[in-house]
Structure 1
């Protein structure tokens, strides 16, 4: 009987899935510390994109979100009403609207990150240093791989 070779991801993927489940549970238990209130998760996602791409236009934002223009507009309306973003016309194409975070929006993202880091630090403090370093390296590599897989379709489209 021929046995298929075992690959590392066959063992690692289920463990990562378990960690994600634990994070979801921790998220629910620690909603105050880990949540994005007063914003929804979708609004916060928009803010992360705008932070990475200051001056992004609404069309590009819609592509990032895989969302239709009316949905993107509503999300931005709510963020603008909260004082977290501002809109302005593109300097060369007045029909194109660009968005960027306000100082309040940037401060809100800093606060979310600060609260999440505090919770994570308390958990990491219970791990040996070598395990913390290995986790950091593994997460960096996973993030890089996820970024590459997300960019692959874009590279094919523009090629």
Structure 2
């Protein structure tokens, strides 16, 4: 194997390990934030559901199941819990009486705003502590990673 290919693979492997370590650290921080921002706690799965509905207002329950890669009964239970907390509402689908669309309530949107603000404050603090050159490299690297991870159909619903 040529040296260049080996170096490229080693750098990719090292970057993968670094990103994985950062993701795990962020998971711990987010878990703490999720439970301390408001008096109403939601599970990680419920929060992920809320993010998807927030980004895709009027999302159909069937499509949500595909995005979550979860069985309909599991998705329905998640929705039941979020509806009980006042964070989610179900509405009949205008095009099909057999389907249900999902929307966050004002309380659900407010909850997400609080979580996002706390997370952003934590990240801002950490990034501001980095040398400027590292911040630039991070911004460039994250933009490249996001581009590589994002499918052409950004909605994921197509």
What is the TM-score when the length of structure 1 is the normalising length? 0.82
Show structure 2 runs of 5+ residues with no match.
none
Q: What do you get for the CA RMSD once the two structures are aligned?
A: 2.4
CA distance in 2, matches of 1:49, 1:66: 13
1:95 partner SS: coil
Contact 2:30 2:119 in 1 (8 A): no
1:134, 1:87 → 2: CA distance?
43
Describe the SS at the equivalent of 2:83: helix
For structure 1, which segment, 86-95 or 44-53, has the greater mean C-alpha deviation from structure 2 after superposition? 86-95
| Correspondence for 1:50 | 53
What is the total number of aligned residue pairs between the two structures?
A: 149
Report the Cα distance in structure 1 between the residues aligned to 2:17 and 2:81, rounded to whole angstroms.
38
SS in 2 for 1:148: coil
Q: Please state if 1:106 is matched with 2:109.
A: yes
Q: Would you identify which runs of 4 or more consecutive aligned residues in structure 1 move more than 4 Å?
A: 24-28
Which whole-Å CA distance do the structure 1 matches of 2:117 and 2:136 have between them?
20
Q: Structure 1 residues 25 and 112 mapped into 2: Cα distance closer, same or farther (>3 Å)?
A: closer
**Corresponding residue number in structure 1 for 2:34:** 35
Are residue 135 (structure 1) and residue 135 (structure 2) matched? no
User: Secondary structure of 2:74's match?
Assistant: helix
- 1:26 is displaced (CA, Å) by 4.4
SS in structure 2 opposite 1:145? Answer: helix
